[in-house]
Amino acid sequence: MDYDVVIVGAGPAGIFAALTLADLGVSRVLLLEKGKDCTLRSQHHIEDRLCGWGGAGAFSDGKLTLSTDVGGNLQDFLEEQRLFELLQQTDEIYVAHGAPDRIFGADWVQVEALADQARLADLELIPNRIRHIGTENCIKVLERFRDVLTHKIHIRTDCAVSDILADPGRVQGVRLADGKRIDARFVVLAPGRSGARWMKQQADQLGLKARSTSVDIGVRVELPAPVLKSITDITYESKLVHYSKTFDDKVRTFCMNPYGEVVTEENNGLITVNGHSYAEKRSQNTNFAILVSSFFTEPFDDPIAYGHDIARLANLLGGGVLVQRLGDLLAGRRSTRKRMERCLTKPTLDDATPGDLSFVFPYRHLLSIIEMLQALEKIAPGVYSRHTLLYGVEVKFYSRRVDVSPEMESAIQNLFIIGDGAGITRGLLQASASGILAARAITARV
């Protein structure tokens, strides 16, 4: 064997698997990452945004959600108290490597009062404690992880894995894109959402069972920060769920960024919208996503293709992301550059095209988004203002969920699959925690 363990992907899942293996004394470990080292990644280069040391989280807002209900499905594998403890331990590792001390949403009296207010508005507040690392600090934390690991394991960046090698029933190692074979007793796959297509291809080749999940489609909302201040001061990010009046669809707020910025991102050739916020630098606005979850059964069972096509429409009409004042949307007219000049919310994203989102979204999604904004207005007056900005399309594609054991082992012996790429997690903390689970199981066998 060349190595005891080969890990594919240096996002949070892969990094935490490596940290845990190293801590538990397993040193014949190779971590392979197809992107660049974190110091060489640039937020302005599309190929660097999701790939490279640190994975998708590198330029993220770095919100660690310290709740068992948010950020993934690990609760399907671990009893609540054990998951809570695992998330605490994971969080402590972030703090030990430079994540700030402060936790938002820890004052339960205030959170309960907010939850009561939400109930009166047909909204459910998911209580959620958050540690906010901030975009400018994420890279520093990731560099610390890299520095610690450099002395303990082997790391190769700019090194894509093309295939997983397995004898029927047992993993053998991996083949690199340059054709080289690396033998290993254990392989841990942590390819993230950017590696979801590759993961699907490998799962199909290996005969692993996987099922499609949902796609979340919606808009990024931007408004003056004082509108949501009474909420964001307490919870930083509030996760609010609404079941839309007309369609009874689940609609939720997601990734709230007080005093943050709206940004574009590239998703398999499509330009979509997202948001983040710095720990120190502040804009005048707060942004958050409103997402509508869509599930399909038969004969159509491809939520990723559905989300793709809606995002493609926005790109077709606007050459990228569209922006519209809520007032224009409700009046049935497009936003134009002239109308945008009279908008009291000054956009933080320059390169969005003023347009008409009603040409993009199905009636079902558009109405659900409007009904969610009406519900939010009841707890934060000003949300339903004519000057609220809606950017489209924001879309969250989730990887197909691969069947794994509670130790994160697939049906192929010694092949572990973790993080967002396995469709098991959806956020930094749970992805990292899944790496710890796999590493502990492997250590017990090594």
| Helical segments of 163-269, H only | 196-206, 229-235
User: Which of helix, strand or coil describes residue 157?
Assistant: coil
Q: Which H or E run includes 46?
A: helix 46-50
Q: Is 132:102 a contact under the CB 8 Å cutoff? A: yes
Closer residue to ligand FAD (CB): 360 or 417: 417
Residue 370 beta carbon to ligand FAD: minimum distance, rounded to whole angstroms: 26
The residue (of 34 and 239) whose beta carbon lies closer to ligand FAD is 34
Cβ proximity to ligand FAD, 6 vs 323, nearer residue:
6
Angle between helix axes 108-120 and 363-379 (nearest 10 degrees) is 120
**Between residues 38 and 340, which has the closer beta carbon with respect to ligand FAD?**
38
- Least Cβ distance, residue 192 to ligand FAD (angstroms): 2
Q: 194 or 385, CB closer to ligand FAD?
A: 194
Where do runs of H (alpha helix) occur along 207-259? 229-235
- CA 187 to centroid of chain Cα atoms: 24
Which residue lies nearer to ligand FAD by CB, 56 or 217? Answer: 56
In the chain, the amino acid numbered 403 is D
Residues 6+ away with beta carbon under 8 Å from 315:
270, 271
Q: How far is the CB of 280 from ligand FAD (least distance, A)?
A: 16
CB of residue 60 to ligand FAD, shortest distance in Å: 3
Binding site for ligand FAD (CB under 6 A): 8-14, 32-35, 50-52, 55-57, 60-63, 65, 71, 160-161, 190-195, 198, 265, 274, 276, 419-421, 426-429, 431
Q: Are strands 181-189 and 415-417 parallel, antiparallel or unpaired?
A: parallel
Q: Which is nearer to ligand FAD, 191 or 354 (CB)?
A: 191
What is the smallest separation between the CB atom of 379 and ligand FAD, expressed in angstroms?
Answer: 23
d(CA 246, CA 219): 19
C-beta of residue 61 within 8 angstroms of C-beta of residue 288 = no
Q: H or E element: which one contains 390? A: strand 389-397
Question: Using CA atoms in the order 84, 87, 89, 94, what is the torsion angle rounded to 10 degrees?
Answer: -150
Residues whose CB is less than 8 angstroms from the CB of residue 344 and which lie 6 or more positions away in sequence, other chains included: 224, 385, 387
Least Å from the CB of residue 72 to ligand FAD: 8
The smaller minimum CB distance to ligand FAD, of residues 134 and 354, is found at: 134
Closest CB to ligand FAD among 8 and 415? 8
Output the smallest distance, CB 238 to ligand FAD, in A.
Answer: 14
| Cβ closest to ligand FAD, residue 206 vs residue 329 | 206
Q: Which of 339, 335, 445 is nearest to 390 (CA)?
A: 335
Question: Shortest gap between Cβ of 69 and ligand FAD (angstroms)?
Answer: 13
Q: Is 344 exposed, middle or buried (0-12, 13-18, 19+ CB in 10 A)?
A: exposed
Q: In angstroms, give the least distance from the CB of 169 to ligand FAD.
A: 22
- Write down the least CB distance from residue 9 to ligand FAD, Å: 3
Whole-Å CA distances, 72 to 52, 57, 429: 22, 15, 9
What would the two tokens of residue 403 be? 């069947």
3-class DSSP state for residue 79? coil
* Tokens linked to 386: 């004519």
